[in-house]
Amino acid sequence: MKPLLRIVALWRGRAAWLVLGLLISLAGSLAAIGLTTASGAIFATGVILAAPVWLRVLGPARVVLRYLERLTTHDALFRALADLRVWFFRGLAVRLAGGLGMRRAGDVLARLVGDIEAQDVVYMRILIPLCCALVVLPVLVILIGARDAWLAAALALLFVTAAFILPAWAARGAMAGGTSLAQAIAGLRVATLDSLMGLREVRAFGAEGRMLATVQSREAALIAAQRRHMRGGAIAGAGAFLCAQSAVLLALLAGKAQGAAGIALVFLVLAAFDSIALLPRAGAQAGLAAAAAVRVLEAAEGPLSLPDPANPTPLPPGSALRFEGVGFRWSPDRPPVFDGLTLDIPKGHRIALLGPSGAGKSSLAALALRLAAPQQGRILLGGVDIANLAAADLRSRIGWLSQSTTLFDDTIRANLLLARPDASEEALWAVLAQAQIEQAVRALPEGLDSYLGEAGHRFSGGQSRRLALARALLSPARILILDEPCAGLDADTERDFLTTLNATADERTIILIAHRLTGVERLDRIFRLSGGRAVAAAG
């Protein structure tokens, strides 16, 4: 249960609300047991003239406590889960700064949504019921043991079996199956998301039937995993039910000669076992929650590929960038991308890096942003090795605009402020004017507060690139890496975009990564990447 304990530890910021909800739940359970037991005793006498004052207090108290329990426990849990999602996203952002890479979007989504939601059972269905059981057990033993110690021992044994032993057995059995169930859920999400994201290609190639078959097979695997997972919980639930019925039978046999006290005993046993009725199934759910917690923790707390230095060097004032004898490959089993690459990019210069696919153009951008690290050589910014800089400082100096730059399903204002959250409205309009997209934005009814839609679909490809360029220009970065910024655009739109770029970004260092040049770029140097090295192509 270590993964679940780690999740609970992450909720310490909500400890006050979580403990308050737990205390109210305990008070509500005790009020319910007291109300049920006392009611049974009064009804057994057959004389109901007026309910005692304490009984009239217990009734409303039970209702109020039940309401407060729902209010506090759900509020505390929702806040704790929100904190957990924020923590998870921060951990993921540090570890996947360069994008998802080899991770599949559906799997990451499953961890962010499904695996975190699975943690709701930890508080509501495991911690609170277990604490209630720990409080109810001594109450049961003390009240019954005062009259019949042997009966109290027998009922305590049945109670412990139903509240602790059977749930623990169900949890242990579900732990192994919980991993396969979590993977089955992620598999269905991956298959569904892939089908939806590639729906255009699926339709174009008439592959609807094949994609549907894939989704259905993943769904069948999920159903089979759920069936296996719930089997243990069902068996534990049946065992707990038999324990409860056996306890009631013992109470009836022992209390038949005790009159009203015997009836009260039966009601006490009924109320006590009713308070733990959901624990056996919660044990099975704990197995799934533990497996989900493992997936959450390994994604958010896995080893950092490029941790910040323990004592980072302050960001230097200079912006000259130098690759010095760089050797790099993405993994040991892949061929080298660079072999002794040396490249000087003076401050304020505009250079182009040309080369075919696989030549290392995008890898060079990843190295400059420290999304990857060279195995040999070093990269200097202002004369300082970037390995000694904090990643946040480095990326405040180097901006990046790629061919697949994402525009979020939010307002134009929010998309721009991603680059500089404190930018004024005047600054936003200024960069839109620089990127020659200002008039198009002003023509919208909501202006800067217009929503772009998913992936910016309200704008054309060229307009979307201009908005992305405006965001890059708003950034304080003094070096801009433009990684195939015109990919997918027609020739006229590409020329217009590059002409706009020529007129903007004054005094910034520009690194243009491209397959080819159109002839309208304003450049100081051109380099061609070949054989893992940079060769000057023009002066």
∠ CA(445), CA(450), CA(456), 5° rounding? 130
Beta strand extents in 168-269 (DSSP E only): none
Partners of 483 in the beta sheet? 402, 513
Q: Do domains 2-300 and 321-538 have the same CATH topology?
A: no
What pLDDT does 43 receive?
A: 67
- Angstrom distance (rounded) from CA 59 to CA 82: 35
What are 403's two structure tokens? 């061919």
What pLDDT does 48 receive?
A: 52
List per-residue pLDDT tens for the chain, 539 residues long: 788 888 888 888 888 989 998 899 888 888 888 777 777 767 666 555 455 666 677 778 888 888 888 888 889 888 998 898 888 888 877 777 655 554 566 667 767 777 787 788 888 888 888 888 998 899 888 888 888 888 889 999 999 999 889 888 888 777 766 677 777 877 887 788 778 877 878 888 888 888 888 888 888 988 888 887 777 778 888 898 999 999 989 888 887 766 667 777 888 888 888 888 888 888 777 877 888 888 888 878 877 777 888 888 898 888 888 998 899 888 888 888 888 888 888 888 888 888 877 777 788 888 888 888 888 999 999 889 998 998 888 888 888 887 777 788 888 898 889 888 888 888 899 888 888 888 888 888 888 888 887 766 777 777 888 888 888 888 888 888 888 777 666 677 777 777 777 776 667 888 888 877 776 677 778 888 888 888 887 54
What pLDDT does 46 receive?
A: 55
User: Taking the alpha carbons of 313, 315, 318, 321 in that order, is the dihedral positive or negative?
Assistant: positive
Which residue in 296, 226, 304, 299 sits closest to 4, CA to CA? 296
By the 8 A CB rule, do 515 and 354 touch?
Answer: yes
Domain 321-538 = CATH 3.40.50.720:
no
- Amino acid found at 33: I
By the 8 A CB rule, do 285 and 303 touch?
Answer: no
By the 8 A CB rule, do 517 and 354 touch?
Answer: yes
- Angstrom distance (rounded) from CA 441 to CA 467: 10
Q: How many CB atoms lie within 10 A of CB 248?
A: 17
What pLDDT does 154 receive?
A: 92
For helices 128-145 and 149-160, what crossing angle results, to 10°?
170
What are 418's two structure tokens? 């991603």
- Amino acid found at 393: D
Would you say how long the chain is, in residues? 539
- Angstrom distance (rounded) from CA 371 to CA 3: 29
- Amino acid found at 450: S
Give the start-to-end residue ranges of the domains of the chain.
2-300, 321-538
pTM beyond 0.75: the answer is no
Class level of CATH domain 2-300 = mainly alpha
- Angstrom distance (rounded) from CA 260 to CA 343: 94
What are 98's two structure tokens? 């360069």
Partners of 324 in the beta sheet? 378
What are 81's two structure tokens? 């889960």
> What is the CB-side half-sphere exposure of residue 167 using CA atoms within 13 A?
21
